[in-house]
Amino acid sequence: MSASLDKGVAVLKEMIDAPIASYFESCVHCGLCAEACLFYTETGDPKYTPIHKLEPLRRIYEQEYTLLGRLAKLVGLSKPVTDDELEAWKELVYNSCTLCARCSLVCPVGNDIVYMVRKFREGMAVSGHAPDGLIGAVTRTIEIGSPMGVKLPAVQAQMKHVQDETGIEIPMDKEGAEYMVMLSSMEIMNFPEYLGAIAKIMKQAGKTWTLCSTAFEATNAGIQIGVSDLAKVIVNRIVEGAERLKVKTVISPECGHAYTALRWDGANLIGRPYTFKVLHILEVLDEFRSQGLLKTEGFETTRMTFHDPCQLGRRGGVVEQPRNLMNMVTKDFVEMDDPGKYNWCCGGGGGVSANEEAEELRLEVFKIKKRQLENVGAKTMVTACANCRIVLEEGLEHYQMDIPVVGLTELIAEHLAPDK
Amino acid sequence: MNEVELLNWVRGPGLNIAIGIFLLGTIWRLFEIYSLGRKKDLSAPRHTAGASGWNTIARRSLAPPGMLKRSPISYIGGYVFHVGLAIVVFLFAPHIELIENLFGLSWPALPSQVVDLATVVTLAAMVLVLVDRINKPVKRYLSTVEDYFTWAVTFLPVLTGYMAVKHLLLPYTTMLALHILSVEILLVVLPFTKLFHVFTLFMSRWYNGQANAHKGVPV
Ligand code: SF4
Ligand code: SF4
């Protein structure tokens, strides 16, 4: 047994709690979870059955925590988990799982399978079986500040650009502001419109807000890869920034995993509740809408549909808000099949989009989105996650579908009523 | 040992041993699993109507949207054989009598013709889900010896019970003895195989429902 394998197994032993034990004990091998997972439905390959992705973890559970399993291990009936086996499982745990959690919604005995995949990744990463692409993303976030290597000067350049374009001042490190706005590198690099949209919306709502020079990046690849220690370092930056600036609310950007990391995992990583609130930008916009602080004019007339980012809808509980906002600015809003919490993943979540080894498979499973889109005949796709957006764009391009993908926040900003 | 001795053994010591192993095994297994505990979630909860552990315990008994169409045999076969088993085990007059003798509890039985029908339907549904397990690539891929073994130990009590009542193949006494024996085997293996899901599934649903309810998602 190698030292890293030892460590990995030790981590996994620690990860196993009563829910995981209960889930493994409950599984009846009905295979229904496969029917919920796009990696199975689009390939037909049974190895992509969600619960099968956890087989090494199940064996460790059995061998370490059950009487019969311990006996079987003692007399050599049950083989210990090996490095080769974990290496073979890398494809299943990382390349073919987006942590979308659709499987957790259908298992008839109630297993929260994604919860287990997430924990399994902790042991995989420690034992050295995480994909290089993800390792790079985490290292860059820790060392430079963002997974794509974006540094503060890039943000400042963008602030200036937006200021020049909109004539609105972009506040940085303003103490006591109500909102602290986070960005994702994707937005800084690829969707500069986001920052401008926020500036306009905040101005219209009359709210104070700020960026934070020590914590502008919300993406947390530590969560995706499964290294809690690193995830904690990243979250801590944001917590320190928010507490230093004494803001009331931190706004998670249009990035699903950033939201999950900040909204749900963060407090558990740092071991205490936050002193501030965390909201996704769509929650903030919907709040403004219901308070009459968000005024729009005009409607899009082309047929549009909304892609629920998994981490926002199914994993985050933000389902109504995007619909309210869509209806504010579109006339022909159509829902794809299985909207809201049952939505099908874009195929690039959970670090899959940062993982080159997974690219071919990702494009193959995109067939599900293609079908969904064709069924409703939407001409524009709206979403609220910069990662989904890139993945959707790539998928659409691959299948030669001429459908633009836009962020909901920008769409709203485009329809803001001018100042009186 | 002749059939009368066998019957006496399975009705006496055999039954006691089986119930003993079943009870102790169940308690041990529940302890083994749930004593592992879990950490408290420190993130601020979101509240949504219909999202809770209890809701999920109930809701997961129904097929989520689109799933029935994707895997009809799993659902229909599954419902029929689970409900069928419940009818046969708990609503057959002689079983109720036995339970009354053992624990002093009793309730009305279904007419024996109805139980007969339920038995046949249950057996048929079980054969159907077995065929499905062998035919469907995913199910076959996931299946281990345990899946076939647990199927058999569940099937045999129903089959032998039916054959005893209908006086098929073997003399009644022998068949009855085999029936009771097969039930005892079922009781003994239940805590140590996937059949244990009869207990754990409620907690699994609850954990899943509760964790997601914390995020405001009714699952
Ligand atoms: S759906 Fe649930 S019970 Fe069925 S195979 Fe998957 S994890 Fe096991
Ligand atoms: S979380 Fe999503 S991608 Fe991962 S196994 Fe479950 S259904 Fe498949």
CB atoms within 10 A of CB B48: 16
pTM of the model: 0.94
Is the pLDDT at A193 greater than 90? The verdict is: no
d(C-alpha B77, C-alpha B65), whole Å: 18
Predicted pLDDT of residue B47: 92
Give the number of the atom of ligand 2 that is nearest the alpha carbon of residue A102. 7
Q: How many CB pairs under 8 A join A and B?
A: 171
Is B145 at the interface with chain A, CB within 8 A?
no
Which of chain B's residues have a Cβ under 8 Å away from the Cβ of A339? none
User: With a 6 A CB cut-off, is A92 part of the ligand 2 pocket?
Assistant: no
Mutate to test the interface with A, among B138, B192, B202, B206 (most CBs of A within 10 A): B138
pLDDT band at A141 (very low <50, low <70, confident <90, very high): confident
Domains and CATH numbers, chain B: 3-24+64-214 (1.20.950.20)
Contact across the interface for B139 and A67, Cβ inside 8 Å: no
d(C-alpha A275, C-alpha A258), whole Å: 19
* Torsion from C-alpha of A21, A261, A219, A39, nearest 10 degrees: 40
> DSSP string spanning B167-217?
T-SS-HHHHHHHHHHHHHHHHHHGGGSGGGHHHHHHHHHHHHHHHHHTTT-
Which of chain B's residues have a Cβ under 8 Å away from the Cβ of A49? 138, 141-142
Which of A41, A47, A102, A315 to probe ligand 2 with, by most ligand atoms within 8 A of CB? A102
pLDDT in tens, A304-350: 999 999 999 999 999 999 999 999 999 999 999 999 999 999 999 99
Predicted pLDDT of residue B129: 97
SS3 A16: coil
Nearest chain A residue to B197 by CA: give it.
A26
Which of chain A's residues have a Cβ under 8 Å away from the Cβ of B39? 17, 268
Q: Which fold does the domain A5-130 belong to in CATH? A: Fumarate Reductase Iron-sulfur Protein; Chain B, domain 2 (1.10.1060)
Whole-angstrom Cα Rg for chain B: 20
- Cα of A93 vs centre of ligand 2, distance in Å, is 9
Which of chain B's residues have a Cβ under 8 Å away from the Cβ of A338? 65-66
User: With a 6 A CB cut-off, is A37 part of the ligand 2 pocket?
Assistant: yes
| Averaged pLDDT, B196-210 | 98
Predicted pLDDT of residue B2: 86
Is the pLDDT at A184 greater than 90? The verdict is: no
Sign of the Cα pseudo-torsion (B122, B125, B127, B133, in order): negative
Bridge partners, A407 (sequence order) = A383
User: With a 6 A CB cut-off, is A32 part of the ligand 1 pocket?
Assistant: yes
Residues of chain B numbered 44-63 and touching chain A (CB < 8 Å): 44, 46, 48, 56-57, 60-61
Distances (CA, A) of A134 to A130, A351, B57: 7, 6, 36
pLDDT in tens, A25-38: 999 999 999 999 99
In chain A, the percentage of residues whose pLDDT exceeds 70 is 98
d(C-alpha A366, C-alpha A184), whole Å: 23
- Choose the closest CB to B137 out of A46, A110, A342: A46
ipTM of the complex: 0.96
Mutate to test the interface with A, among B142, B148, B188 (most CBs of A within 10 A): B142
User: Residues in chain A, how many?
Assistant: 420
User: With a 6 A CB cut-off, is A111 part of the ligand 1 pocket?
Assistant: yes
Predicted pLDDT of residue A328: 96
> DSSP string spanning A97-163?
-----HHHHH-TT---HHHHHHHHHHHHHHTT-S-HHHHHHHHHHHHTSSTT---HHHHHHHHHHHH
In chain A, the percentage of residues whose pLDDT exceeds 90 is 78
Predicted pLDDT of residue A1: 55
pLDDT in tens, A161-174: 999 998 999 999 99
d(C-alpha A184, C-alpha A281), whole Å: 12
- Cα of A341 vs centre of ligand 2, distance in Å, is 14
Class of domain A293-414: alpha beta
d(C-alpha A395, C-alpha A399), whole Å: 6
Residue spans per domain, chain A: 5-130, 146-289, 293-414
User: With a 6 A CB cut-off, is A113 part of the ligand 2 pocket?
Assistant: yes
pLDDT in tens, B14-57: 999 999 999 999 999 999 999 999 999 999 999 999 999 999 99
Predicted pLDDT of residue A140: 78
CB atoms within 10 A of CB B102: 10
User: With a 6 A CB cut-off, is A110 part of the ligand 1 pocket?
Assistant: no
User: Residues in chain B, how many?
Assistant: 219
b (16+ CB within 10 A) / e for B133-154: beebebbeebbeeebeebbebb
Distances (CA, A) of A253 to A176, A214, A217, A263, A290: 20, 16, 9, 11, 20
